[in-house]
Amino acid sequence: MKDKKVTRRKALITGLAAVSGLHLPGCSKDLPPSYGNLLRMGDAFTYAAHRTLLPGQSLAREYSHKDITSFPAIGTIDPGGMDELDTSEAYRRLQSGAFADWRLPIEGLVARPGNYSLADIKRLPPQTQITRHTCEEGWSAIGEWTGVPLSRLLDAAGILPTARFVTFYSFDGWADTLDMLDVLHPQTLLAYGMNGKDLSVSHGAPLRLRIETQLGYKSMKYLQRIVVGDAFDDGGELGHIQTGWSWYAGI
């Protein structure tokens, strides 16, 4: 809880500083850089405004089983078919073994870094939620997700109090970051089940992120690795910012 306040205040200060073109030493390294790009300054301002004005960690609306709708699979629909990626062959091999050999490394600011198998993750108390997926394209869909809250897994790994951001890497070649407010949000889930079945390849097997207070592209599919850090990591060319998308998508 204490971390959150610091994050919010610093978000405000640096957000405003980014908009006015200033850089406060010591703060800017923790927050999304704007690279002097007017659009990214606007994104940073929106992020700062949300973190300042909205009550923290409100729950997104949940629906009932009969509300579940058809659900398109877009973006990457099979990392095993993307031969241009280094991870493609590894994904194909894991998929052929029903992901029994898949391991999720949790690294960085945790007391017990380690590799978690799907069975390890399924041993933690599960959570199921029926939520609306909102795509930046303009469509929406309601699905039921089963998994373990990210905070529960990070607690199991012994997340350190200095943690400020968590970075996710995926088998389809993306990297993305969440701040602690969203990381510790009670609906932020590492999902292995969708609509009562194992997560399909087209929807992100074996494990995907669900972040219900941001647009769909933040709910990264095909998780490969998680790194807990104390500074903002833009993911370089694998991240959203450098590919021209807003890092914060709570709009």
Partner 1 sequence: MSDPDINTDDTRHTRWVRISHWIVAASFLTLAVSGLVILMAHPRLYWGEVGNDLTPALIELPISRNFQHDGWSERERFFSDANSPVTSSRTYEIFNQNGWARSLHFLAAWLLVVPGALYFLAGIFTGHFWRHLVPRRDELNLRAIGQEVHKHLRLLIRAGTGGPQYGLLQKCAYGLVVFVAFPLAVLTGLAMSPAITAAYPMLLDLFGGYQSARTIHFFDWVFLMMFLLIHVVMIIKSGFKRQIRAMTFGERP
> From CA 113, how far away is CA 151, in angstroms rounded?
15
> From CA 208, how far away is CA 199, in angstroms rounded?
8
Does residue 138 sit in helix, strand or coil? coil
Q: Which helix (H) or strand (E) holds 53?
A: helix 38-53
> From CA 121, how far away is CA 102, in angstroms rounded?
11
Tokens of 44: 């940073």
Query: Is 161 an interacting residue with respect to partner 1 (CB under 8 A)?
Result: no
Among 15, 31, 43, 147, binds partner 1 (CB under 8 A): 43
Query: Is 61 an interacting residue with respect to partner 1 (CB under 8 A)?
Result: yes
Query: Is 68 an interacting residue with respect to partner 1 (CB under 8 A)?
Result: yes
Query: Is 6 an interacting residue with respect to partner 1 (CB under 8 A)?
Result: no
Residue with Cβ nearer partner 1 (106 or 166): 166
Query: Is 208 an interacting residue with respect to partner 1 (CB under 8 A)?
Result: no
Residue with Cβ nearer partner 1 (46 or 151): 46
> From CA 12, how far away is CA 166, in angstroms rounded?
19
Does residue 64 sit in helix, strand or coil? coil
Query: Is 29 an interacting residue with respect to partner 1 (CB under 8 A)?
Result: no
CB of 225 to partner 1, least distance (A): 25
> From CA 174, how far away is CA 168, in angstroms rounded?
8
Among 70, 97, 125, 236, binds partner 1 (CB under 8 A): 70
Binders of partner 1 in range 88-117 (CB under 8 A): none
CB of 207 to partner 1, least distance (A): 18
Size of residue set near partner 1 by CB under 8 A: 52
Residue 168 sits at the vertex; the CA angle it makes with 167 and 172, to the nearest 5 degrees, is: 145
* Beta carbons of 190 and 150 less than 8 angstroms apart: yes
Among 6, 24, 29, 72, binds partner 1 (CB under 8 A): 72
Residue with Cβ nearer partner 1 (50 or 152): 50
Query: Is 237 an interacting residue with respect to partner 1 (CB under 8 A)?
Result: no
Q: Give the number of C-alpha atoms closer than 13 A to the C-alpha of residue 66, restricted to the C-beta side.
A: 0
Query: Is 146 an interacting residue with respect to partner 1 (CB under 8 A)?
Result: no
> From CA 1, how far away is CA 56, in angstroms rounded?
10
Residue with Cβ nearer partner 1 (58 or 162): 58
CB of 130 to partner 1, least distance (A): 12
> From CA 247, how far away is CA 42, in angstroms rounded?
11
Applying CB under 8 A, the residues found at the interface with partner 1 are 38-43, 45-46, 50, 54-55, 58-61, 63, 67-74, 77, 132, 134-142, 194-197, 200, 202-203, 212-215, 243-246, 250-251
